Chain A
Amino acid sequence: GAGVSQSPRYKVAKRGQDVALRCDPISGHVSLFWYQQALGQGPEFLTYFQNEAQLDKSGLPSDRFFAERPEGSVSTLKIQRTQQEDSAVYLCASSLEDGNYGYTFGSGTRLTVV
């Protein structure tokens, strides 16, 4: 497809379980971003990749959150030992260069921790 693809669309995890969320960016897009969106809030920045290099991870809320993009295309956001406050929609976005004029978002993965 032509858009940013995220999987799974929905994930229910038991507290303490590890989860992995996948993002397939638009082909050829250099930059990739992860955002977290709580209910009724705007997206909050988590981390940014340029190709395979993670250039900014200042938004990751704790060391339980880890992101990678080993070959500069597909990215995975991993959350270890999930907690209830991790429940949110996780959005992935990509852009051709540094996203000066905005990026293209995927539909997100809705994570519910029970």
Chain B
Amino acid sequence: QKEVEQDPGPLSVPEGAIVSLNCTYSNSAFQYFMWYRQYSRKGPELLMYTYSSGNKEDGRFTAQVDKSSKYISLFIRDSQPSDSATYLCAMRDSSASKIIFGSGTRLSIRP
């Protein structure tokens, strides 16, 4: 079983919808949680990060971490066709430098 599990999708929603992306993890030592967006043939781009549990909002994006359930979410409000990409969750603990990624969810926003 992988340390970080993520539904690969693909997920297709109409423009303007609210999108919910999720990951579960098994390592209770993870403290830093990130979401990356990756367009085709590009490197991952950091979207959101949170430390420990709680919510963080940045424009149309909200990241949530529930450490008790080992579950993290990314919500995208008022989704746009330009949001179409692969979304990767990522996390690490405080002692290691390497980030562990999920397998990514491919998202498509229909105009």
Contacts and interface: CB of A to CB of B under 8 A. Distances in A.
A42 B97 contact: no
Contacts of B90: 42, 102
Interface in B68-108: 88, 90, 92, 96-104
A104 interface: yes
Given A42-B6, A102-B36, A59 B98 contact: yes
Contacts of A31: 97
Contacts, number: 66
Contact of A42 (B41, B46, B49, B101): B101
B103 A105 contact: no
A101 B44 contact: no
A91 interface: yes
Given A42-B6, A101-B34, A101-B49, A56 B98 contact: yes
A41 B49 contact: no
B26 to A, nearest CB: 15
5 contacts: A40-B104, A45-B98, A45-B99, A91-B43, A105-B45
Interface of B: 4, 6, 8, 32, 34, 36, 41-46, 49, 88, 90, 92, 96-104
Interface of A: 4, 31, 33, 35, 40-45, 48, 50, 55-56, 59, 91, 93, 98-108, 110
